[in-house]
Amino acid sequence: MGLKVVSSAIISFSVFLLLASAAKAQSKGVFDVTKYGADKDITEALTNAWKDACASTNPSKVLIPSGTYSLRKLTLAGPCKAAIELQVDGILKAPVDPNQFSGGHWANFGYVDKFTLSGSGTFDGQGKAAWSKSTCQKDKDCDSLPMNIRFDFITNALVRDITSRDSKNFHVNVLGCRNLTFQHFTVSAPGESVNTDGIHIGRSTGIYIIDSKIGTGDDCISVGDGTEELHITGVTCGPGHGISVGSLGKYPNEKPVSGIFVKNCTISDTTNGVRIKSWPALYGGAASNMHFEDIVMNNVQNPVIIDQVYCPWNQCSLKAPSKVKISDVSFKNIRGTSATPVVVQIACSSGIPCDKVQLADIKLAYSGPDGPAKSQCSNVKPIISGIMSASGC
């Protein structure tokens, strides 16, 4: 009898949860853009649907159904009166011509609390023509191309199951956000695409990137100044330039970076693996409490690297050392294969040497003609434990 009572209680509770979930779904107003006159160009319809949903005092959802739509430059902003969701199930295409944009974004979400961006849809930046004309790979003063998606001052938010494809510039830029999670997020662009970082984070706290797939032409994930409590877990990266903290020290008054946790990731066929980089000679800063653990490398050119003489295309002076202080860093259980013989390179500032750098269980193999695998360290005294497959540090 006792077992039957418990089973009945569990079934009743399950039914209650289902009914509650259904009631919650019914209570959320759905604002379908097709009811707002959406045709091939969805810009005006989406703007009006968002405006009505944002004004709702009940949780609301803006729906973009399956289909292919053109979308011009757009800003969807709050504050909204209740939680709001944008469900994108269609393919949104940006204008091909960069001259149709003024400013640094295509789709911008700003100043929204309790926001969800969901669905099986795609933000297609149609960036191929822009990459071929871009001078940003060699010119630091180049004209900025639009990013696919910007999140500015978003709080308590979730981005789930969405794809960003072929952005003209960064795919996603996160600025001033708090408690924002990317889950099952996909970034897709060819390895030769220029300056197409997957997700760039700056001056934000509590950002989670979980179980996502990022393949692009620049950093899969890049971490700017002022980032705190960033958790990257279960991310597949490649092609691209790896997962990078920095570059730091390029601009005055940069805020410290701290609490970076990268774990259980796979990085394949990239120009770098896990990297921390700062510019020499320029401005000060600090980066600490950064930990990279349980990372698989597949044919990665520079699997583990701290580079405090970062100076791409000789765009800076090497006459003075980096003024960025790097401390409390660990690389643990990094395994796989390297495309270059130097599998660990820790090049710290001669002016402010790195402090408290740990290397533990580094099992990286190199099978090329310049073998065996080796490590190089300067201006640092790393704490080494466990297996170290590459001698030198």
How much is the average pLDDT of 353-375?
94
- Per-residue model confidence (pLDDT) at position 137: 56
Chain segment 248-269, per-residue pLDDT in tens: 999 999 999 999 999 999 999 9
| pLDDT value at 14 more than 50 | no
Two tokens, residue 122? 């795609």
- Per-residue model confidence (pLDDT) at position 1: 37
Residue 176: which residues within 8 A CB-CB, separation 6 or more? 152, 153, 203, 204
Strand partners, 158: 116, 181
Catalytic annotation, pick one of 105, 171, 200, 241:
241
| pLDDT value at 99 more than 90 | no
Percent residues over pLDDT 90 in the chain: 82
The residue among 11 and 222 whose pLDDT is bigger is 222
Cα–Cα distance for residue pair 287/29, rounded to 1 Å = 44
Beta carbons of 330 and 294 less than 8 angstroms apart: no
Please tell me the least confidently modeled range out of 55-69, 82-96, 304-318, 374-388.
304-318
DSSP 293-346: EEEEEEEESSSEEEETT--GGG-S--SS--EEEEEEEEEEEEEEEESSSEEEEE
| pLDDT value at 72 more than 80 | yes
| pLDDT value at 18 more than 50 | no
| pLDDT value at 49 more than 50 | yes
| pLDDT value at 9 more than 50 | no
Mean pLDDT of all residues belonging to the chain = 91
Length of the chain counted residue by residue: 393
How much is the average pLDDT of 301-314?
92
Chain segment 191-219, per-residue pLDDT in tens: 999 999 999 999 999 999 999 999 999 99
| pLDDT value at 23 more than 80 | no
Please tell me the least confidently modeled range out of 70-84, 131-145, 197-211, 359-373.
131-145
The residue among 308 and 135 whose pLDDT is bigger is 308
Please, which pLDDT band fits residue 134 given cuts at 50, 70 and 90? low
Two tokens, residue 283? 């401005």
- Per-residue model confidence (pLDDT) at position 133: 74
Please, which pLDDT band fits residue 368 given cuts at 50, 70 and 90? confident
Cα–Cα distance for residue pair 114/374, rounded to 1 Å = 48
Please tell me the least confidently modeled range out of 57-66, 123-132, 325-334.
123-132
Helix (H, G, I), strand (E, B) or coil at 46: helix
CA distances from 40 to 22, 106, 250 (A): 33, 17, 43
Please, which pLDDT band fits residue 389 given cuts at 50, 70 and 90? very high
Please, which pLDDT band fits residue 118 given cuts at 50, 70 and 90? very high
Residue 278: which residues within 8 A CB-CB, separation 6 or more? 246, 247, 248, 249, 285, 287, 307, 308, 310, 322, 324, 326, 349
Angle (CA) 156-255-282 rounded to 5° is 145
| pLDDT value at 167 more than 70 | yes
- Per-residue model confidence (pLDDT) at position 8: 34
| pLDDT value at 4 more than 60 | no
pTM of the shown model: 0.91
Cα–Cα distance for residue pair 27/60, rounded to 1 Å = 8
- Per-residue model confidence (pLDDT) at position 288: 98
Of 258, 264, 235, 254, the residue nearest 245 (C-alpha): 258
Cα–Cα distance for residue pair 393/390, rounded to 1 Å = 8
Cα–Cα distance for residue pair 341/269, rounded to 1 Å = 15
Of 232, 367, 239, 382, the residue nearest 306 (C-alpha): 382
User: From the CB of residue 307, how many other CB atoms can be counted at a distance below 10 Å?
Assistant: 22
Please, which pLDDT band fits residue 39 given cuts at 50, 70 and 90? confident
Chain segment 327-351, per-residue pLDDT in tens: 999 999 999 999 999 999 999 999 9
Q: Using omega within 30 degrees of 0 as the cis cutoff, is the peptide bond preceding 369 cis? A: no
- Per-residue model confidence (pLDDT) at position 323: 97
171 in catalytic set: no
Beta carbons of 197 and 167 less than 8 angstroms apart: no
Cα–Cα distance for residue pair 290/339, rounded to 1 Å = 25
